[in-house]
Structure 1
Amino acid sequence: MEHPATPDELAILSQMDFIVPLKQFGLISRAVLEGVYHFYKPRRIILVTSERERHIFHNLVVPYWSVGVIEFVPEETFFLPHLHLTLDQIKAEYDDARGPEQREVGWWLQQLVKLGAASQVEGISEHYVVWDGKSKTPVSNICCHRDHGKGLSMFLFDWLW
């Protein structure tokens, strides 16, 4: 459902961060990141990715893509600030406890990044959006905020699958 952003929504969105966990840059990465910037104009897009991917992105993409302010949080040290765990430690714990039918560690790590963004990303906005960098390509603005008057606001997202 397309919803042109109102000036009030754009003012709110411009103060919000978008957290984008991204294992590896792929064919649609540009469309995802430029779409987020084009439709939502966030304060910043924070990519949680490996140092290797950060290097690729920083050197090959930054001058050419229209993505606004991009910041990087290395996935290798994402859990260090408050949990004092490295990515390798988490992977080892998971592998030790994982049964034969359970998923590989990657999907679970992405969920931990999404859930941990509020405590692990320095200076994160009070309200923020976690956007799937692998498969959610914005093609129009989706309503994310409703003002109910008297200073009451409700943040929401309509998901298109």
Structure 2
Amino acid sequence: MSSEIFDFVIPLYRVRWNTQAVIEGLTIHYAPRAIHIITPNSEVSSLKECSKTWQTAPLYIHPEEEFFKDKTGLTKDIICAKLNLEKSLYNPGWFYQQLLKLGADEGIENLSEWYMVWDSDLLPVNTWPLFRENQGKVQHTFALLQHNQWGNPQIVSTWDKWIRSVLEVEPVTDAEGTFIPHHGWFKQEYLDSFKRQVNNYYKSDDHWLLLMMHSANDFGTFSEYWSYLSWVAAKSPNDLAVYPYDAYGETTERFFDDGTGLFSAALKRYQGIDDSSLIDNFSPSYQAVEAFIREEYGADALPSSLSFESSPRHLKKDEKNMHIEEIRSRWNPRNQVAG
């Protein structure tokens, strides 16, 4: 619908079996000007090599350790050293990848004013447009993919407190969905004012990157998506354009699969691959994955998207803390449906 030039930004902890499919899928569905991947230096060489044969938009790979250094003088080690994890539920890398999303323009030259952040494990399938027209104006849109009646209420409460305290705005809410959508538009103009507010809250001239880590010490956690989107909702509500949960969230699924899960095993069988003979080099194309999904679900019942969680903690979650997108998935081993 829109001819607007825009880029994708994807923090990537590790190249995984589904990385090629996700990147190719974004290219096929959305045709961005460029896709920027921010990843540990240990992944850069292998990603550059394996991506040579991928069918993608122009791909730019940035080492995360010194991503901010040229503009700010700050390295990942310096930024993460500000954390005191005694009060946090997460490791330093989890917080740092949130800062990469909020500060992508500070490490990427000529990044588009509006850029789309996309979680590296989110595969687009029967997906949503990123633009729509409203009263003659083109809006940047994203989809609510996570229901608000499941998950860990203690963490959500802490994120809520952070937004009210640090940003001094009301957290944006929806009747069904959460504003932790695993993708979303970020605009540099709004990010600049967001960061200034962090400085204002702490009455400090320290760099906002350091103050965000300070805030993690103070509150225990923060949410980049919900915080930023709450800021936009308060300051420029006409630029917050979403598809409600029932449009795309009701068909999305989230499940553990690091290459040993039910989905990848079934995909290998579909492709006639001996699972035991292919562990490290399994990297199916988007077309191959999509063909399997169409066969598995049927053309009239495709999911909007699939999230391939790679942390084994998802296999150990108490059901009371699981999201409905996990509970209902046919690829959740507790359901014993797939395979």
**Does the CA-based 8 Å contact 2:35-2:58 persist in structure 1?**
yes
**Does the CA-based 8 Å contact 2:40-2:63 persist in structure 1?**
yes
Q: In the alignment, which of 76, 80, 87 is matched to residue 91 of structure 1?
A: 80
**Does the CA-based 8 Å contact 2:11-2:97 persist in structure 1?**
yes
Shift of 1:100: 5.2
CA distance in 1, matches of 2:139, 2:64: 31
**Residue correspondences, number:** 146
Answer with 118-127 or 66-75: which moved more. Answer: 118-127
Shift of 1:101: 4.6
Q: In the alignment, which of 96, 116, 119 is matched to residue 132 of structure 1?
A: 119
Shift of 1:149: 4.5
What is aligned with 1:36? 26
Q: Indicate the structure with greater helix content.
A: 2
Answer with 34-43 or 118-127: which moved more. Answer: 118-127
After TM superposition, where is structure 1 displaced by more than 3 Å over at least 4 residues in a row? none
CA distance in 2, matches of 1:67, 1:98: 38
**Does the CA-based 8 Å contact 2:11-2:37 persist in structure 1?**
yes
Q: In the alignment, which of 127, 141, 155 is matched to residue 156 of structure 1?
A: 141
Segments of 5+ residues of structure 1 without an aligned counterpart are 1-7
Q: In the alignment, which of 129, 139, 143 is matched to residue 143 of structure 1?
A: 129
Q: How does 1:1-161 map to 2 (within 5 A)?
A: 8-9=1-2, 11-12=3-4, 15-62=5-52, 64-94=53-83, 97-99=84-86, 101-133=88-120, 135-150=121-136, 152-161=137-146
Shift of 1:90: 1.6
**Does the CA-based 8 Å contact 1:40-1:141 persist in structure 2?**
no
Task: Output the TM-score relative to the length of structure 1.
Answer: 0.82
Q: Which has the higher relative contact order, 1 or 2, with Cα contacts under 8 A spaced 6 or more apart? A: 1
Segments of 5+ residues of structure 2 without an aligned counterpart are 147-339
- CA RMSD, Structure 1 to Structure 2 (Å): 1.7
CA distance in 2, matches of 1:69, 1:60: 14
- Superposed CA deviations along residues 69-108 of structure 1, whole A, max 9, x for unmatched, are 00112101112133321011122222xx221553111110
CA distance in 1, matches of 2:138, 2:49: 40
Find the residue that maps to 1:123 and give its secondary structure.
Answer: coil
CA distance in 2, matches of 1:143, 1:156: 7
What amino acid is the match of 1:47? I
The structure with more radius of gyration: 2
Identity of aligned residues (%): 32
